């Protein structure tokens, strides 16, 4: 089967506007939970998720933190220019380095109102915080095919992360058709968010509360944290007839050697990914280990995976144990305590997970790469239609969809 010829029209469905959650529920863990296992569907709420996960399992969460990526500048003529910070320029080793820059940084951005912003023209924004003045300037440096290179500079001294906290706003997904409100600052962020860098929340984790973590630990269900900084590409619509024409954006992953060791120890138990970003990170770890074991590791400053390369390799015969151990050996040889890499991996029907046994995730947009990922997990050996059973059930039983909606626990077939 040529996976690049998968037709997007086979992975769409009718999503009425009223099914899209514009706001989260009052309590995070009160959201409904659909459980799909061995072809059967049941219901519960997130507060009771521990009852549906075997003791001894390992849950992997994405602890990325959403940054205030939307900055509005007012031109001298009165017009508004909106800058949406997508990701740092390639000159920075990783997002953490870029977020820590003082006084000046280069960033890849989307620009609203760019047609009236001349190259080289400097925009200025003044922010007063606790009696102190911050002056932020933006200079349009270069236009690329799908983004702009913007130089942001500021005074007095502060990190770029601090500047964004003061000058920017949390970017809600485009399908939430309202302005950001003060409550979104807390609710469009997981309770365990730690590392600045995402422009979208890893929404499966929005339902988890400290009380849920306590219940998981009491049942001897282990937890671990990886970091994948979510780019705006997660909302990029698939406009091509087939998935082969869609380009995935590269995203940074950051995983400690300790967490890789934890995953290695749990390979004979149930490893669940909390969110599609966690799943892509965990599966990318396997393939990065395979590349190292085969002697075909990236020549880039950081290890990387391209969009389709995991499908271009025949069955290597390299086990998850060997792949992860090779990755750990490589980290030790290079005196690194964590892996920082880039992944563009796309997961589509026909892919078999190497490590992950289950996925906790929200309900995704029609025709999206995230829906294709769900379809891949549920396909098994009996065709690709099982995702429809899940989504039809959710639509008919008053589940709320997309980022602020309800979710599901899907066991891999």
Residue 96, token pair as written in the block: 């953490």
In 3D space, the residue among 58, 9, 2 whose CA is nearest the CA of residue 372 turns out to be 9
| pLDDT score recorded for residue 250 | 84
Q: Are 203 and 64 in contact (CB under 8 A)?
A: no
Q: How many CB atoms lie within 10 A of CB 14?
A: 8
In sequence order, the 6+-apart residues with CB closer than 8 A to the CB of 43 are 32, 33, 34, 35, 397
| pLDDT score recorded for residue 298 | 57
CA distance 367 to 156: 46
205, part of any domain: yes
As beta bridge partners, residue 80 has: 74
The number of angstroms, rounded, from the C-alpha of 72 to the middle of its chain's C-alpha atoms is 24
Q: Are 171 and 198 in contact (CB under 8 A)?
A: no
Are residues 144 and 97 part of one domain?
A: yes
155, part of any domain: yes
pLDDT digits (tens, 9 = 90+) for 80-105: 899 999 889 989 988 889 999 999 99
Are residues 367 and 226 part of one domain?
A: yes
Given a cut of 80, is residue 302 above it in pLDDT? Answer: no
As beta bridge partners, residue 151 has: 106, 139
pLDDT digits (tens, 9 = 90+) for 102-112: 999 999 998 98
Pinpoint the alpha helices (H) of 242-319: 257-265, 276-293, 309-312
What CATH number is given to the structural domain containing 39?
Answer: 3.40.1780.10
pLDDT digits (tens, 9 = 90+) for 183-211: 999 999 999 999 999 999 999 999 999 99
177, part of any domain: no
pLDDT digits (tens, 9 = 90+) for 335-387: 999 999 999 999 999 999 999 999 999 999 999 999 999 999 997 544 457 89
Are residues 302 and 197 part of one domain?
A: yes
- My answer on whether omega of the bond before 156 falls inside 30° of 0, hence cis, is yes
In sequence order, the 6+-apart residues with CB closer than 8 A to the CB of 19 are 395, 399, 400, 401, 405
| pLDDT score recorded for residue 235 | 67
Are residues 291 and 231 part of one domain?
A: yes
Are residues 127 and 61 part of one domain?
A: no
CA distance 368 to 240: 11
Can you tell me whether residue 312 is helix, strand or coil? Answer: helix
Tally of domains in the chain: 2
**40 confidence band (pLDDT: 50, 70, 90):** very high
| pLDDT score recorded for residue 383 | 46
Q: Are 390 and 362 in contact (CB under 8 A)?
A: no
Q: Domain limits at 136?
A: 69-169
| pLDDT score recorded for residue 26 | 96
pLDDT digits (tens, 9 = 90+) for 200-257: 999 999 999 999 999 999 999 999 999 999 877 766 778 899 999 998 888 889 999 9
pTM: 0.92
CA distance 315 to 307: 17
């Amino acid at each position: 089967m040529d996976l690049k010829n998968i037709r997007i029209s086979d992975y769409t469905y009718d999503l009425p506007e009223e099914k899209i959650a514009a706001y989260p529920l009052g309590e995070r863990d009160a959201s409904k939970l659909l459980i799909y296992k061995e072809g059967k569907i049941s219901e519960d709420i997130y507060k009771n998720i521990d009852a549906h996960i075997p003791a001894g399992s390992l849950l992997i969460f994405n602890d990325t933190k959403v940054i205030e990526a939307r900055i509005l500048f007012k031109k001298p003529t009165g017009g508004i220019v909106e800058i949406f910070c997508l990701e740092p320029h390639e000159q920075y080793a990783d997002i953490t380095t870029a977020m820590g820059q003082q006084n000046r940084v280069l960033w890849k951005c989307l620009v609203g109102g760019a047609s009236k912003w001349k190259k080289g023209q400097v925009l200025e924004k003044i922010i007063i915080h606790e009696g102190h003045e911050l002056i932020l300037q933006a200079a349009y440096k270069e236009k690329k095919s799908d983004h702009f290179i913007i130089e942001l500079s500021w005074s007095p001294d502060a990190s770029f992360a601090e500047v964004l906290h003061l000058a920017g706003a949390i970017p809600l997904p485009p399908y939430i058709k309202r302005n950001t409100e003060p409550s979104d600052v807390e609710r469009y962020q997981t309770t365990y968010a730690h590392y600045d860098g995402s422009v979208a929340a890893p929404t499966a984790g929005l339902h988890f509360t400290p009380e849920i973590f306590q219940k998981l630990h009491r049942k001897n269900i282990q937890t671990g944290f990886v970091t994948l900084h979510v780019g705006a590409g997660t909302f990029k619509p698939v406009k091509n007839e087939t998935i082969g024409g869609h380009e995935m954006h590269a995203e940074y992953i950051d995983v400690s050697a300790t967490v890789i060791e934890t995953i290695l120890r749990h390979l004979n138990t149930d490893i669940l990914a909390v969110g599609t970003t966690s799943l892509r990170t965990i599966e990318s770890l396997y393939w990065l280990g395979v590349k190292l074991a085969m002697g075909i590791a990236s020549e880039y400053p950081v290890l990387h995976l391209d969009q389709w390369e995991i499908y271009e390799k025949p069955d290597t015969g390299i086990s998850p144990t060997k792949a992860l151990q090779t990755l750990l050996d490589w980290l030790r040889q290079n005196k690194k305590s964590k892996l920082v890499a880039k992944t563009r991996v796309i997961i589509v029907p026909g892919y078999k997970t190497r490590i992950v046994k289950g996925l906790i995730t929200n309900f995704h947009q029609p025709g999206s790469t995230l829906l294709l990922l769900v379809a891949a997990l549920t396909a098994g050996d009996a065709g690709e239609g099982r995702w429809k059973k899940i989504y039809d059930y959710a639509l008919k039983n008053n589940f709320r969809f997309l980022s602020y909606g309800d979710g599901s626990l899907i066991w891999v077939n």
